[in-house]
């Protein structure tokens, strides 16, 4: 559960950063 939540956070962060960069 924790790993899944962490991965989700990282994924969301990468996406958010990508959108910000774009």
- For the chain, what is the total number of helices (H) and then of strands (E)? 1, 0
- CA-angle at 3, arms to 2 and 8, nearest 5°: 100
Cβ neighbours around 15 below 10 Å, total: 10
Give the model's pLDDT for residue 8.
80
Neighbour-count burial of 7, counting CB atoms closer than 10 A to its CB (0-12 exposed, 13-18 middle, 19+ buried): exposed
| pLDDT exceeds 60 at position 14 | yes
| pLDDT exceeds 80 at position 21 | no
Report field, pTM of the whole predicted structure over 0.85: no
| pLDDT exceeds 60 at position 1 | no
Q: How far is CA 13 from the centre of its chain?
A: 3
Mean pLDDT of 1-22: 77
């Amino acid at each position: 559960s924790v790993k899944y939540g962490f991965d989700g956070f990282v994924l969301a962060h990468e996406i958010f950063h990508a959108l910000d960069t774009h």
